[in-house]
Structure 1
Amino acid sequence: MTAPRLYTPEQAAELLCVTKDWYVKQLRARKLPGRKAGKFWRVSDKDIQAAIDSMAVPVIAAKPDPSGLSSRSRRRLRTGGAA
């Protein structure tokens, strides 16, 4: 059995087309998966795929269900205004 490929934050950030500083900040905040080996961060292929999945934005956002909203809130949804 082969060991999984591990990347440095710099390599992972390059694969994800983000800056190293942003990526490390997300790792520290535990918003993206990764492991710390001593004082160094390491990221596996699965971690990178999970990061891609978590950063993916749906093409069409679902409209909120108006049931349970007040009449004023439903009116705001219909008109698209905020007043």
Structure 2
Amino acid sequence: MRLRVEFTTEPFDLDEPPPHAVVAREVVSAAGLDAVDVGPFGNTAEGPAGAVLAAVDELLRKSLEAGATRVSMQLNVIGEGDG
């Protein structure tokens, strides 16, 4: 099974990415997922279910520790494969 996660962390800062946003992006970038797209208003990543779920767990924990007050997330099954 393959999954796609879309997420944002808050509070927003349009002048400079806040620490919680930087941490969340670092987590998904380092997770070895197949497709990662980061942007100022949302981020997406996709890959095998196990890798995506592990990355989601880590990004939630680390972004909250780094000061996020809200993490909005959507998780979708996008296809079959290994995982």
Q: Which has the higher contact order (CA 8 A, sep 6+)?
A: 2
TM-score range, shorter chain: under 0.3
Structure with greater strand percent: 2
